[in-house]
Chain A
Amino acid sequence: MVVHRAIAVCSLLFIIAAVAFGAERMRFWNLTTTTIKELYLAPAGTTQWSVNQCKNDADGVVDPDERLTITGVTPGKYDVRLVDKKGRMCTVANVEIVTGRPYAFSISDKQLSNCSTKP
């Protein structure tokens, strides 16, 4: 009984540690040349947009070359919608979000082709 409990506690600790590690590593890397004011994620092909992830940043925006902690998502393919400082709203489809490396995904200027002015 004691052994089973110990195994259960160890397993729980392992899962918590794994989740914590995974969460720690879920970061977006802004490789564009512009400051991003809003960033949303939705499972690819849906419109189930997340909350504005920029709220996770200390100053609420993601400057060029800055990292942003992403919360409330699991690895997979997502559509990413962002609003930059110039007022452009851009959507980048089918972005792979991964764990196990220092950043979960990045976006560069080349990917910002589907843009419009935010209403």
Chain B
Amino acid sequence: MRPLLLAPSILAIALLTAGSHAETVLVSNEKGNSITVLDGESLTVLKTIPVGQRPRGIVLSRDNRLLFICASDDDTIDVLDLDDYTLKEPLPSGPDPETFALHPDGLHLYVSNEDDSLVSIVNIKERRVVGEIAVGVEPEGIGISPDGRWVVNTSETTSMAHFIDNESHKIVANVLVDSRPRHAEWTSDGVEVWVSAEVGGTVSVIDAVKREVTHKISFAIPGVPNEAIQPVGILLTRDRKWAFVALGPANRVALVDAQSYEVKRYLLVGQRVWNLAFNRDQSRVFTTNGISNDVSVIDVAAQRVIKSVAVGEQPWGIAVRP
């Protein structure tokens, strides 16, 4: 009888354990040459793992078991196994990889090679570069449409968002945006692409079908000079209600109504806020603050910063493993 009575308890414990699997926040430290692992609930540092030189963009594999890391000064993509935190054999990347995006097929990484004005396509399974697309000078942000058909790449010096047909690998449209575009973020429905301009100080909202700028969002913070307002990272909620925009040395994240395109609030975070990531249920936003060497945590519902956590030297990229 006793084993039968115990069985439901064991099952309940197993379910609870599975359900309470903690999220981890992964941060690349550009000058520290490391990845910091934070517990997503307690917000404490679990580990710091040495990786290649100048780690910047990071992205999770589709099964969330691997972290791909642009090791810019090593000209490779490091591969970190998140089950045992060991580095696997790196992937090729083309020179000076800075940012990248994972195609929805989970097999291809699209990498910005800043020094060569190229987007390299890396097949993860075959471990080789399977395509190169010539783009504008100093390519930076990469965003792939939810259906995987279109890639948008921003080029910093050319100040353009290039729309690339993912079947032909040809540029089909160049959309002029403001100076030094850094990040391209698709809405979850694939209708719009939001592009930040670091020097221009704006976010351009592009109609993904017409490939035209339909709205331009500007920022003004009392007491902060305009030149300090440098938009970089962008996050959009799945329901398209809100956007979060990192404003660099303005040390603020702008909260934007994604329907009216109005800035509703500025949230004070750490110094030179650069990139952003949601947790799984989008109740929190994590920011990397490159000068203050920390991560700020924003409570989305309360629209306020609830904590900052010290990480490594010059935090840059961020991802949350569910």
Q: Which residues of A contact B (CB under 8 A)?
A: 31, 33-35, 58-59, 63-65, 85-86, 102, 108-109
Contacts and interface: CB of A to CB of B under 8 A. Distances in A.
B248 A64 contact: yes
B249 interface: yes
B294 interface: no
B53 A35 contact: no
A19 B47 CA distance: 40
B227 interface: yes
Given A58-B137, A63-B156, 18 more contacts: A31-B31, A33-B248, A33-B249, A34-B227, A34-B249, A58-B138, A58-B157, A59-B156, A63-B198, A64-B248, A64-B249, A64-B272, A65-B30, A85-B227, A86-B225, A86-B227, A108-B291, A109-B291
Interface string B229-240: 010000000000
A34 B271 CA distance: 13
B157 A64 contact: no
A85 B290 CA distance: 20
Interface residues of B, number: 23
A63 B180 contact: yes
A104 to B, nearest CB: 13
B272 A102 contact: no
A34 B249 CA distance: 8
A33 B272 contact: yes
Contacts of B248: 33, 64
28 contacts: A31-B31, A31-B314, A33-B228, A33-B248, A33-B271, A33-B272, A33-B291, A34-B227, A34-B249, A35-B199, A35-B227, A58-B137, A58-B138, A58-B157, A59-B137, A59-B156, A63-B199, A64-B230, A64-B248, A64-B249, A64-B272, A65-B290, A85-B227, A86-B227, A102-B53, A102-B73, A108-B291, A109-B291
A86 B54 CA distance: 28
A50 to B, nearest CB: 23
List the 8 shortest-distance A-B pairs measured between CB atoms, nearest first. Answer: A33-B249, A102-B73, A59-B157, A58-B157, A58-B137, A33-B272, A85-B227, A102-B53
Interface string B136-163: 0110000000000000000011000000
B42 to A, nearest CB: 30
A70 B305 CA distance: 41
Interface string B215-250: 000000000010110100000000000000000110
A85 B256 CA distance: 28
Nearest to B138: A58
A31 B30 CA distance: 11
Contacts of B138: 58
A35 B248 CA distance: 12
Chain B CB within 10 A, most for which of A58, A63, A65, A102: A65
Nearest to A106: B31
A63 B31 CA distance: 17
A58 B140 CA distance: 15
A33 to B, nearest CB: 4
Contacts of A108: 291
